Chain A
């Protein structure tokens, strides 16, 4: 761990949608340079937690500090510099289907250039997109294609290239291996680990793929009933000693987690 102030510090984060309480006092410290994995069942609020940090969802209560600054109290304009530190790989890659692959990859670079008045030419942006595509194991010629022409695995790679394009200090991965076969899942995980190491970024991944969690994460935590009920090294996920975590990671039907199968 480097430094005293966590890169991301969350205290008492709460979020409800109507009567449904999704986050109920989440506390979390992620130190700089750490790869942190959050596991949890479907609908337990993992994505909502990430969206709160990204400012896409406004929490009902609690604080979210990035580099020691509570971003929940900042106006959108003052929040922008902190958001520029973050790159995000969405669950379905969320590529812009009206743009080509290279335009997707270079989108953040060109947007940042517009904001800070150091515009990057389209030719330079395309060249940089080609380099990023190579970095995620793709032929730069793919840049001319439309996202719809790519397989799910290739879309994830393009999404990863887009997320790392602006060399973010923080990277978020939302279910990076969902919908991929095990081999492609391992390939994406390998690319994520490589990119995070090369950039020296802090990473938070949410997943319910245990193999992926152990490949990506240094540290892990489990979100259950709106709180983080366990934190520890990602290597101890399968023998955490916590009955809830153990039931989840081993996929047992019997245990403290009761699954309501009624519709």
Chain B
């Protein structure tokens, strides 16, 4: 009896693993199919511009505020630690390194995953359960080409732009806290920031952002496209899209950091 329970438990783990592998394969094929439509006309520019504005412009306030306060928090936390060793001069370098390498891309990505990934999934999911996707097929329009491909491209291009804004505002947040609250000399802080600035950090941050943008849009579109069962199904797809995008984003962040900065 006990052996049966143990075997059932192991079988359950096996089934879960197989489901995960199957889903990974389905997502990969879905993404490759959508990307292949980039080079096969027609391309739906109106959907692309709409998504670009939705992701790149309307996410600006939330990304800007997040970056500004995160930069400030890094400065404040670093000060409490570094002041004990009289190493306050390193704070500017810590802020720009943390913001350009990690906080900018990751926080912008998580904010966009919550805002845009959820919206994409809900919109496409609603289209699925109200037969709008079937209607596209009956109107000489490939649903993946029309709905998914432009969103993937928009996500890939918009997130690096948001990360540039996040980088600038994150550094500015650190500057404001250090100068206004901790009484640093502004010129000295700017000088330390510039001397710690590395183009490589920014470039890798932007590359990460492009990959995160693609993954967020892919998760939003995939889960929305495959949603089932009315409003409840759309809700579940939206949750799954945000959770999957966030996990993938952090996983890829680790992998890319390992590739570029591990030495």
- Chain A residues within 8 Å of B, Cβ to Cβ: 51, 54-56, 80, 83-84, 86-88, 90-92, 94-98, 107-108, 111-112, 114-115, 162, 166
Contact of A83 among B41, B126, B131, B138 (CB under 8 A): B138
A91 touches B140 (CB 8 A): no
**What residues on B are CB-neighbors of A166 within 8 Å?**
140
Is B42's CB within 8 Å of the partner chain A?
Answer: yes
Name 17 extra pairs, CB < 8 A, besides A83-B140, A91-B131: A84-B140, A88-B138, A90-B134, A90-B135, A92-B131, A94-B131, A94-B135, A95-B135, A96-B132, A96-B135, A98-B123, A108-B140, A111-B141, A112-B140, A115-B42, A115-B140, A166-B140
A107 to B46, CA, bound (A): 13
A51 touches B134 (CB 8 A): yes
A56 touches B132 (CB 8 A): no
**What residues on A are CB-neighbors of B141 within 8 Å?**
107, 111
A108 touches B134 (CB 8 A): no
Contact of A86 among B127, B132, B134, B138 (CB under 8 A): B138
Query: Can you pick out 23 interface pairs between chain A and chain B where the beta carbons lie within 8 Å of each other?
Result: A51-B134, A54-B137, A54-B138, A55-B137, A83-B140, A84-B140, A88-B135, A90-B131, A90-B134, A90-B135, A91-B131, A92-B130, A94-B132, A94-B135, A95-B132, A95-B135, A96-B127, A96-B136, A97-B126, A108-B139, A111-B141, A115-B42, A166-B140
**What residues on A are CB-neighbors of B131 within 8 Å?**
90-92, 94
A96 to B141, CA, bound (A): 13
B138 touches A114 (CB 8 A): no
A155 smallest CB distance to B (angstroms): 11
- Chain B residues within 8 Å of A, Cβ to Cβ: 41-42, 123, 126-127, 130-132, 134-141
A237 smallest CB distance to B (angstroms): 27
A178 to B56, CA, bound (A): 42
A94 touches B123 (CB 8 A): no
A56 touches B137 (CB 8 A): yes
**What residues on B are CB-neighbors of A94 within 8 Å?**
130-132, 134-135
Chain B residue, CB-CB nearest to A122 = B46
B121 smallest CB distance to A (angstroms): 15
**What residues on A are CB-neighbors of B138 within 8 Å?**
54, 83, 86-88
B96 smallest CB distance to A (angstroms): 41
**What residues on A are CB-neighbors of B123 within 8 Å?**
98
A98 to B120, CA, bound (A): 12
A203 to B231, CA, bound (A): 32
A97 to B138, CA, bound (A): 17
**What residues on A are CB-neighbors of B137 within 8 Å?**
54-56, 83
B242 smallest CB distance to A (angstroms): 21
A206 to B177, CA, bound (A): 68
**What residues on B are CB-neighbors of A88 within 8 Å?**
135, 138
**What residues on B are CB-neighbors of A114 within 8 Å?**
41-42
Which one of B123, B126, B132, B141 has the greatest number of beta carbons of chain A within 10 Å?
B132
A95 to B140, CA, bound (A): 15
Considering the complex of A and B, which 4 residue pairs feature the smallest CB-CB distances, nearest first? A94-B131, A108-B139, A114-B42, A94-B135
**What residues on B are CB-neighbors of A51 within 8 Å?**
134
Chain B residue, CB-CB nearest to A51 = B134
**What residues on B are CB-neighbors of A107 within 8 Å?**
139, 141
B88 smallest CB distance to A (angstroms): 52
B176 smallest CB distance to A (angstroms): 40
A166 to B141, CA, bound (A): 13
A112 to B139, CA, bound (A): 8
A55 to B137, CA, bound (A): 9
